[in-house]
Structure 1
Amino acid sequence: MRAFLVALLVLAAAPGASAQITSATISGTVKDQTQAVLPGVDILVSNIGTGLSRAAVTDANGHFTIPGLPPGAYETRASLQGFATSVERLTLAVAQEAGLSLTLKLTGTEESITVVGTSPLVDTRSAAMSAVVTEKTISELPLNGRNYIDLALLQPGVNSFTEKDSTSSSNRGTKLNINGMSFRSNSYLLDGANMRGYAGTATVSAAETTLGVETIQEFRVVTNAYSADYGRAMGGVISLVTKGGTNAFHGSGFGFARNSAMDARNFFDRGSDPPPFKRYQFGTSAGGPIAKNRLFFFGGVERLSEDLGITTTAFVPNEAARSGALFPINPIMAPYLKLFPAPNAGEASAAQGIGIFAYELNQPTRENFFQGRLDYTVSDTDSLFARFTHDGADQTVSAGFPDYATDSVSRNQFFTTEYKRIVTPAVLNTARFSHSRLRFEQLPAFPSVPDLAFIAGQDQMGVLGVTGLSGIGGTATNPSSNNSFYWTFSDDLSYVKGRHLLKTGALVEHLRTNKLTATNIRGSYTFANVRSFLAGTPTRFVGVPPGAELERVRPNTLVGFYLQDDYRTTERLTLNLGLRYEFYTVPAEANGLDTTLRDILNDRSFTVGQPFAKNPSLGNVAPRLGFAWDATGNGKTAVRGGAGVYHDTDGPFNSAFGIAAFSPPFAATATINNPTFPRPASLTAGAASARTIDYNIKQPYGLTYNVNVQRELAGHITATVGYAGSRAHNLMSAIEANPVVPVIQPDGSKFFPAGAPRRNPAFGPIDYRTNGGHSEYHSLQLSAQKRFSRRYQLQSSYTLAKAMDNLQAQLNADVNNASVYPQDPYDRDIDWARSDFDVRHVFQANFVWDLPGRDGSALHGGWQFNGIVTLRSGVP
């Protein structure tokens, strides 16, 4: 291992972050009319929009490769004395490897032959399964909420699991399950810089969206067997590039308005009209030259303003209960009873004292987005760009009753700069720096009533939970905050040597996260029914003792290296050979607040110190292998396949961080049965329950593999049929690690009697994060795509898939505080079944059709008919 690391350090010339995964590559072979290869041909590739040009010369085999080209429209010129110059125009997509076959004709005069087209339809260079969401698709398809990440769902093998969504900071954003992997296992890149949020989705705002669609040029969704350029995750990769300026001025403006004028009343609406709803989303973008062929700008702004009216029903004490006619009322409960509004919508259960209260609430949302980018061609060999993004949002959500709400606040900022240098015609170096600040807070928004507080020193009442009634007192998890700061450096070197395109690079990303978890800091009482509530006899109290350390500061660093060789063994066969190594430093809490149960069965108290016995990521060696075969030799049919090892690098560290605030002795929760009211007699946190992570944690990893056939059909249509699969091991999961000792029944089944002794008598239940999860995925994927021509484009796909795992719920095993445990903690295999996100059949189609009309006419021209169709089966 030491020798391997030394070799990587030598080859990766400078430290840094991600690879050349936002640029495109052109490679090809030049021949004469007799199909003999032509060495010494001058190749000049020029960006039509910016004038950027790159040159190369064909080698002895007539071959050339030009990497590191920004996505866009290009002109490729091939010239050799005695031959007519060949000029071919094509469009390059993000992370595309375009293969060209050029033919030069003998001529006695200066002559050129121009072919106008798009990029090759069939990928004969890469084994990765991927698809591009083009600029036209982004700008023209109907997009509810204008969250461009949703367009990734148009690709085969991608679906979204929404059945267990919540609005906590851990669950916001579009959750993409890609080829059988958890949504937390994906990587999101914006201009090559990390834009993955704390929850594992793309960075989202408090408004639960990702704005800026007008500033996105295109993005690639990579789903299987991707190269060693990509790291961080074992699911898919979403690589986005932003728009830059060109030599022509361009701009756009948009506005969308929705309201309740055409809405229908639902069953719960009490008035004659539905609750009011107003949503306005508008913005503009502009770009162009500052200095022709040298300096360009592009920027965009967007504003979202929404007031969402919602009819809500709550269960409250009815008039008989409020008056004391049904049950006696303890005088101490009178001020708490007054907090419940009087029923206004009938009875839910008159005998139990439960009435219905219906009301309309307003959920206001405000969001402001800005992005600016500068591109500068310094010289023929040097270029750079810089981009700044700001996104701030505020949203208020009801917490059950009119006077109780939660204010969500987010402020996200990103800065990225990239410098490219052509060292020689065969060597390109790309250096990148990025910094991001992600702030998310949830704050209680309700009256300050110190006299009703459950815990001394608190100025607000805690949560009252009464069986049969709606809870009052806001949300027990607030206040909370998660503030993350990223500093990322990268350097990537590509070297063209004969038939080899060699790439190497390194990544260093430092992350510092400040997290406040104040669950039950105000306390929470539970009552068995309305009678016990009015009598003031709760069954349980849960609260945090004063002085508990609720904030955690966790710095850690990701370091990665890779080697990649795209070896064109023959004109028709390309091998993709890669190796990646990356690891995290163990994220020890900055103030020494880490504690663990190192031996679940025998420890009688928590041990202060690092959360892991050893760093589980130090063995993260990830080989990648793939092939692409031009089956017919004309670039119209490709047989491709690949496999690779991928690591969910930060899985254990997020889990450790997610439960760190609940571990004694620095933070603990007191649970008291049959307590006094309104304040418990004692708030000493006993050892009745605990939360911890496996001290001997392992690294989650996955294997992905695919084989597919791609064919170009008539009419600019490409069809693909393929198999994609994956297996994942050591997945993070939650178990109850200190169950009672079971009684074995005569039939061999286990019975867990209440009150029986536990495995470790020093503790009650132990919420334990460990590596008990594994998964398996198989799929048949069919797709067809027609590029835009003759006024329309069309894309469709069908996925027949089966996803299996032994995890109870993907939302609960990673960074959430909630836990869904297996049926039997002694036998995890009995939970092997269809995954929560298993969707057997998914059909997707989308189309853009420019309707016939008078081009240039304000009235008759510019009309379109566009749409998205999704048909899918349900989840288990």
Structure 2
Amino acid sequence: MKGARLTLALAMGLGIVWPAASDRPVHAQDLTTGAIAGVVTDAQTGEPAVGVTVVVTSPRTRADTTFTDVDGTYKFAGLTPGDGYVLTFYYGDQTAERRGVRVNAHHTSTVPMAMQPEVIVVYGEGPDVDPTSTAKITRLGRQELTHLVLPGTDFESSIGSTAGSQNDGVGVALSGSTGLENQFVVDGMSTTGLSYGSSGVPVLNDFIEEIEVITGGYNAEYGRATGGVINVVTRSGSNELAGSVFGYLEPGLLRAAAERTPTQATSIDTRSDLDYDLDVGAEVGGPIVKDRAWFWVGVAPQLTRTTTTRITKRRTDCRQLMSDGTLSTAADARCPAEIPAGYQDGVADADPTTGFLIYEDLDSSKHRTRSRDLQLLGKLNLAVTPAHQGQLSVTVQPGASSGARMFGKVDEQGLDSTSLATTASLRWTSKFDDGKTELEAVLGAYRSAQTFGSTGGARDDLRLQTLYGGNLGTWSLLGGETTRTRQGCTDNDGGDPYEFIVNCPDDGVGYSIGGPGALVDDWERRLSARIAAVHRVRAFGSHELKAGADLEDDQIEKIRAYSGDSLLQNYVALGEVDVTRWVELMPPDGDATRYGDTCADSTGGGSYACNFLAPGEPGTVIHGQTFGWAAYLRDSWQLRPNLTINAGVRYEEQRLRYAAHLRDRVDPLTGDRLGTDAMVLDGNWSPRLGLLYDWTKQGRSKVYGSWGRFYESVPMDINERAFGGEVSLLQRYDAGTQCGGAIQGYGGVDGNACLGTGAEPGLGTTLLGGGTLIAPDVKAQYMDEALLGAEYELVEDLKLGISYQHRQLGRVIEDVSVDGARTYVIANPGEWSRDAEADLMAQAAALPAGSEERALLEAQLDQYRAIRGFDRPRRDYDALELTVSRRFSKAIFAQASYTYSKNRGNYPGLVSYDNGQVDPNISSQYDLIELLANRDGPLPLDRPHYVKVDAYYTFDLKRAGAATAGIRMRALSGTPVDVLGRHALYGVGESFLLPRGSLRRTDFEQSVDLHVDYGRSLGKGVTLQVFADVFNVLNDQGTFSVDENYTYLSSANPIVGGTYEDLIYAKETGTDGKETSTPLTRNPNFGRVAGRYAPLSARLGARITF
């Protein structure tokens, strides 16, 4: 079968035998270039003008010439995106010119021409409707990137104008999919991050020629995405030396104070305020050899500094609830100088209107975080001839940041991180057979590296210990708090005004001391190759055939290490210390001298020889690999000039491999011998079909529909964890008997002392992770999409659009566990192949009865069958979009959209927003079947109403220059609020106590941003532009997220179909998952704002172009 698939790749992507009946040239645009096409007619007769000479010129490239066919059509392809193209038409003694034509990446600009006896000159672009493409596309070119209000300076911050997009906290979510389901392409090469699927290489807008965002309806040449495709084309050199010097400054002095989001679960609040965000840079491009070779380079350092204010506070007990339901003093007022008798009742004061506790501030301190980044980009273009051209692009982006932790001993250590992203791509295009055939080949390399630890590594040998359930008064004795905080939080010291309550308790947030915790010294690397061929033939209309293939060799290297060798969670109030450490279990044929420790699972999971891993030891470096390839074939068939059928098919395959050190080993937990490939995802056929009709027959309209299947490209986080032998040991110590005496400042024992006694953990041990099985015949995750829409250019440059989009997840890859998280199975939850079951049953039957091998196989069969008992993941997205756009013409640009959508199901996608976990395809969402209840409902990205407006107007001031005013408006529904509880084994935010989204929805949000700029010529081709942006003019900081954790310390099972009123009857569960008689301890911060939108701010800038 492998040979058959590779033959298929050659047939579909590399070795197409084109039909011989080709009578017209073809030039198909690729990801980085565009095309101009149209029909030339005789104005007097209306008939096609055959043999018209058409010449295209531009400052960017050398002139090119073609001739119209028998139906009057012509086409130029391989054009560099940008403005200023000129088309000249020669028809006998008739001449016509079209100036100011814009070329967009991966787009055909339609420019028709009617030849007349006299010489005519036409200015401006053709229609903005592409009547041959069903793709939903938003484009931002140089004009838009210069004059629109953009919340940031790189491309990810610029694509928010796309209808159906929203910020989901990890990236840009498109059309109901998470921000980790997109494909990012820069200069024709994938720059999608390998570990998680986020953007791997941010590029400044000043270095970009065009951004193309495709959110649906894309053809077979696109794959590896179940969200959208973000295609970025950087700037290029031309025959004219040109460039710019620019700078942006967002000063803290022009930023309103961020609204405080106080928490009820701790006596520490934080507020971050920007000091400055500075970007400066320069870019220049021009000819090396005119009409032959060009260069372009850009450089931009970025500096950011933020001040975080750390505020300590205490609860009060000086107010009394009056008979009318109010407090004796206003909820926001401080206590009276002398507390009246009876007002101290031993119950902390609460605001009766909200139910939230009332605090008073004690002290504050300021701490600075700095980041330093640099962007270096370069590009060389070569035209051996107009038909044979090459391009080399290089990117280098180093970065560093420093900061400190806030919820713990702040002055104890600094935390540093570094990063380095590099890319290189080589692209070649050739046209053969008088332009009838075009080939494109791209080679690419991407690498990204990160580090994290304490400043200078000074505390990397210390364990991170987090204290829970104590109080800040006690912890202040560790020396990390000010005198005012220590005195205000200390209970009953003689000066305590609230002697009947605990002033500064911790209800689950914790107080951290020691080392930095998880250390990072990782890198990821992609080597890629892509080839495509296009040809055009006439047969019952015209066909544009495109075929291609691509492959990727993806590798990662991650370290698995905690500072000081383990992580300590010290539950002071419970008298328990939990120690988590990375371990490596000895395989059956392992060297016993390396495995001198014992890893026992007291819950029935067995006992194994193992090695407790410390930083730098063998087994801490994980090297993962995935190999993938794809091939496609598609035909754009124009039965008539205004009727097009797009049909294609794509085949994709991924081979996810075990970590290098595990190959050819026996897994000590499952007994399986591990080979090279952990999971092979093949048989992934993606049909694509589209139909378009232009009722104007002038390229000014289209009615379209499309259907397609899109497969996920599984990120490599699963290689590191599930296929990397990740095993951790959780040791639970009885602090009262096993960890020495209480230590001043801890409120109990020092967790480090538990490890010094050598005693077995008195409260048991649990092995977590590892033991990962891959269900036989597991299939790739995919999504189906149906799209219907219409576009119409009502008047010149004003386009109206309407579309309906339906997306539905068809299958999901997740890890499940049927034995209480001892063993995980990578599977398709809710389904398992009957054929695979029959094969395993036959294998088991062939083994001797009572043999160890047969028992092992039968046990695995039971686990695989249990997969069917899990709920099938579901995510349904339905959206109706209305759009209005006006291209920059006659000084105005406008783009507006209204989206009405629903996003419902029981599985949000590759991001688990509920508990904050980012582990694509191995999240905890399907780990335990008992936690699946109540998960169906409106998903976190469900925002029914979303209005977007982006516009600007340029005032021509003649000799005085030009001024532009722009606006950005947003209005959007809030998100559903869940009620979450703690799980005894998995921790906070894992149990849906009530049905998903049943509590309420956050408030409807709106914002307005403004932009002004003024430019003036300084002579000799030099222009000065100054500009200013004002963000969140209304200073509506709104609600981005709320605390959905009803419990922090109490574990609880879902209340199936329950309501809010049922929560008062809910009981805690023990470590065995069984309900006790103890009522839940409610998180006092539940329902409060956890994150807000950025406050009002301003950004100033200047740009000199030449």
The question of a shared fold, defined as TM-score above 0.5 by the shorter chain, is answered with yes
One-letter identity of the residue aligned with 2:557: N
Contact 1:21 1:229 in 2 (8 A): no
For 1:539, the equivalent position in structure 2 comes to 577
How is 1:392-471 mapped onto 2 (pairs within 5 angstroms)? 392-400=398-406, 401-424=410-433, 425-445=435-455, 448=458, 459-468=461-470, 469=506, 470-471=510-511
Q: 1:797 aligns with which of 883, 893, 897?
A: 897
Distance 2:570 2:313 in 1: 15
Number of aligned positions between the proteins: 774
Trace 1:526-605 onto structure 2 (pairs within 5 A): 526-529=569-572, 538-545=576-583, 547-548=612-613, 549-592=619-662, 605=670
Tell me the equivalent position of 2:535.
495
- Partners of 1:158 and 1:300 lie apart in 2 by 29
1:730 equivalent in alignment to 2:830: no
Render the CA deviation track for 1:824-865: whole Å, top value 9, x for unaligned.
71695852211111111111111122234343x3xxx33321
> How far, CA to CA, are the matches of 2:754 and 2:663 in structure 1?
29
Secondary structure of residue in 2 paired with 1:831 = coil
Q: Specify whether residues 621 and 740 from structure 1 end up closer, same or farther in structure 2 by C-alpha distance, changes over 3 A only.
A: closer
- Residues 668 and 51 of structure 1, relative CA distance in 2, 3 Å threshold: closer
Find 1:181's aligned residue among 159, 177, 189. 177
Displacement of 1:310 after TM fit?
0.7
Alignment check: 8 A CA contact 1:487 1:509 kept: yes
Write the distance in 2 (CA, Å) between the matches of 1:459 and 1:520. Answer: 5
Say if 1:263 and 1:53 are closer, same or farther in 2 by CA, change over 3 A: closer
Q: Give 1:607's aligned amino acid.
A: D
Match of 2:707 in 1: 643
Partner residue in 2 for 1:95:
106
Q: 2:560, 2:582 within 8 Å by CA — same for their partners in 1?
A: no
Residues 646 and 703 in structure 1, CA contact (< 8 A), matched pair in contact too: yes
* Cα distance change of structure 1 residues 348 and 539 upon mapping to structure 2, 3 Å threshold: farther
Partner Cα separation in structure 1 for residue 867 and residue 940 of structure 2: 21
The aligned counterpart of 1:288 is: 286
Please state how far the C-alpha of 1:808 moved relative to its aligned partner.
6.2
Q: Tell me how far apart the structure 2 counterparts of residues 304 and 478 of structure 1 sit (CA, whole Å).
A: 27
- Cα gap change, 1:844 to 1:126, in 2 (>3 Å): same
TM-score (norm: length of structure 1): 0.80
Aligned partners of 2:815 and 2:923 also within 8 Å: yes
Q: Does 1:472 align with 2:512?
A: yes
Q: 1:662 to 1:403 in 2, by over 3 A?
A: farther
Structure 1 stretch displaced more, 460-469 or 491-500: 460-469
Residue 657 of structure 1 is aligned with which of 720, 729, 740? 720
Q: Does 1:21 align with 2:31?
A: yes
1:381 aligns with 2:387: yes
User: What CA distance in whole angstroms lies between the structure 1 residues aligned with 2:514 and 2:29?
Assistant: 46
Match of 1:853 in 2: 957
Over 3 Å counting, the alpha-carbon distance change for 1:407 and 1:348 in structure 2 is: farther
1:501 offset after TM fit, Å? 1.4
Q: What is the SS of the residue equivalent to 1:411?
A: strand
Code of the residue aligned with 2:728 in structure 1: it is A
AA aligned opposite 1:835 = L
Q: Within 5 Å, give how 1:349-360 maps onto structure 2.
A: 358-360=364-366
CA distance in 2, matches of 1:408, 1:565: 48
Residue 513 to residue 688, structure 1, CA distance change in 2 (3 Å): closer
Secondary structure of the residue aligned to 1:609 is coil
Q: What is the match of residue 135 of structure 1?
A: 142
**AA of the residue aligned to 1:472:** S
Map 1:651-690 → 2, pairs under 5 A: 651=715, 654-661=717-724, 663=726, 667-674=727-734, 676-677=738-739, 678-680=753-755, 681=758, 688-690=767-769
Identity %: 19
User: Residue in 1 aligned with 2:794?
Assistant: 713
Supply the distance in 2 between the matched residues of 1:542 and 1:862 (Cα, whole angstroms).
63
Q: Decide whether the 8 Å contact of 1:234 with 1:648 is kept in 2.
A: yes
* Deviation (angstroms), 1:176: 1.8
CA distance in 2, matches of 1:186, 1:123: 23
Specify the SS of the correspondent of 2:253. coil
CA deviations 1:535-580 (Å, max 9, x no partner) are xx54322223555322211122221111121111101111111111
> Could you report, residue by residue, the CA deviation over 1:326-350 in whole angstroms, capped at 9, with x for unpaired residues?
xxxxxxxxxxxxxxxxxxxxx9999
Kept after mapping to 2: 8 A contact 1:19/1:491? no
C-alpha separation in 2, matches of 1:517 and 1:348 = 46
Instruction: Decide which moves more: 564-573 or 493-502.
Output: 493-502
Matched, 1:212 2:204: yes
Q: Give the superposition deviation at 1:644.
A: 0.8
The letter of the residue matching 1:13 is L
Q: Is the 8 A contact 2:252 2:273 kept in 1?
A: yes
Contact 1:65 1:496 in 2 (8 A): no
Asked if the contact 2:623/2:720 (under 8 Å) is kept, the reply is no
1:694-751, CA deviations, whole angstroms, 9 ceiling, x for partnerless residues? 512321001112111101122521110111111112224455543499xxxxxxxxxx
Would the alpha carbon gap of residues 448 and 293 (structure 1) be closer, same or farther in structure 2, given more than 3 Å must change?
A: closer
Task: Quote the Cα distance in structure 2 between the aligned partners of 1:311 and 1:348.
Answer: 29
Q: Which runs of 5+ in 1 are unaligned?
A: 163-170, 318-346, 450-457, 598-602, 742-758
Residue 288 of structure 1 and its aligned partner are, at CA, apart by 1.9
SS at match of 1:512: strand
CA change 1:848–1:596 in 2 (3 A) is farther
Residue aligning to 1:699: 780
Name the CA shift for 1:391/1:502 in 2 (closer, same or farther; >3 Å): same
Q: Name stretches of at least 5 consecutive residues in structure 2 with no aligned partner.
A: 17-27, 263-267, 316-345, 350-359, 471-505, 584-610, 614-618, 740-752, 823-858, 977-1106
Distance, in Å, in 2 between the alignment partners of 1:103 and 1:551 is 67
In the alignment, the residues of structure 1 paired with residue 765 and residue 632 of structure 2 have an alpha-carbon distance, to the nearest angstrom, of 49
Q: Which residue of 1 aligns with 2:193?
A: 197
Distance of 1:279 and 1:490 partners within structure 2: 38
Question: Shift in Å at residue 484 of structure 1?
Answer: 0.9
CA contact (8 A) 1:86 1:104 kept: no
CA distance in 1: counterparts of 2:948 and 2:697, whole angstroms: 31
Q: Is the 8 A contact 1:540 1:672 kept in 2?
A: yes
Structure label with greater radius of gyration: 2
SS at match of 2:158: helix
Q: Quote how far apart the aligned CAs of 1:811 are.
A: 2.1
Q: Any conservation in 1 of the 2:871–2:932 contact (CA below 8 Å)?
A: no
Residue by residue over 1:769-827, the C-alpha shift from the partner in whole angstroms, topping out at 9 and shown as x without a partner, is 99953311110001111111222211111110111121267423762699543697169
| In 1: Cα distance, 2:629 partner to 2:112 partner | 39
Alpha-carbon distance in structure 1 between the residues aligned to 2:879 and 2:89: 43
TM-superposed deviation, 1:596 = 9.7
Shift in Å at residue 218 of structure 1?
0.6
Paired with 2:697 and 2:145, the residues of 1 have a C-alpha distance of 33
Structure 2 distance, partners of 1:528, 1:869, is: 47
- Match of 2:774, SS state, is coil
**Aligned amino acid, residue 672 of structure 1:** R
Q: In 2 relative to 1, CA 4–659 (structure 1 residues): closer, same or farther, beyond 3 Å?
A: closer
What's the counterpart of residue 478 of structure 2? none
Provide the residue aligned with 1:786 in structure 2: 886
Q: C-alpha distance in 1, partners of 2:803/2:706?
A: 12
Distance 1:81 1:53, change over 3 A: same
RMSD across aligned C-alpha pairs, in angstroms?
A: 3.8
Number of the residue aligned with 1:311: 309
Q: Please point out which of 522, 529, 549 is paired with 1:506.
A: 549
Aligned residue runs from structure 1 range 53-132, under 5 A: 53-73=63-83, 74-81=85-92, 83-85=94-96, 87=98, 90-105=101-116, 107=117, 112-132=119-139
Amino acid at match of 1:289: P
CA contact (8 A) 2:255 2:274 kept: no
